Amino acid sequence: MEPIFLEEKIKFNKDHFIPNILYASPKVKMPLICLEPGQEIPPHGGHSVGIFYVKEGKGIFTLDNKKIDMKKDMVIIAPEGATRGMQCIERMVVLAISVG
């Protein structure tokens, strides 16, 4: 597999969020999440461990009933079974890795 250069994969959609799936296998999925202010991924159940690296921007991450301020260079880990979601405050790029 060829290396992935994230800067080349960043794409925003002003109408609604569309994930850019960089890699997928039966056990691992790696979407690049590009959100505009006001866009969100509603809280939903996670059937796997989710690792979220905030490359740029600001937002609010929901982990079960807890709200976490998202900011550049932060990593958030959502355990298997935890509810997770995010809301964008400042144009945001997040690399997510789902394992399990």
Dump pLDDT digits (tens) for 36-53.
Answer: 999 999 999 888 999 999
Q: Distance between CA 56 and CA 45 in Å, rounded?
A: 25
CATH number at residue 54: 2.60.120.10
- 57: in domain: yes
Q: Is the pLDDT of residue 16 over 90?
A: no
Radius of gyration of the chain (CA): 13
Containing structural domain, residue 42: 6-99
Instruction: Supply the pLDDT for residue 47.
Output: 86
Cβ atoms of residues 41 and 17 within 8 Å: yes
Number of domains in the chain: 1
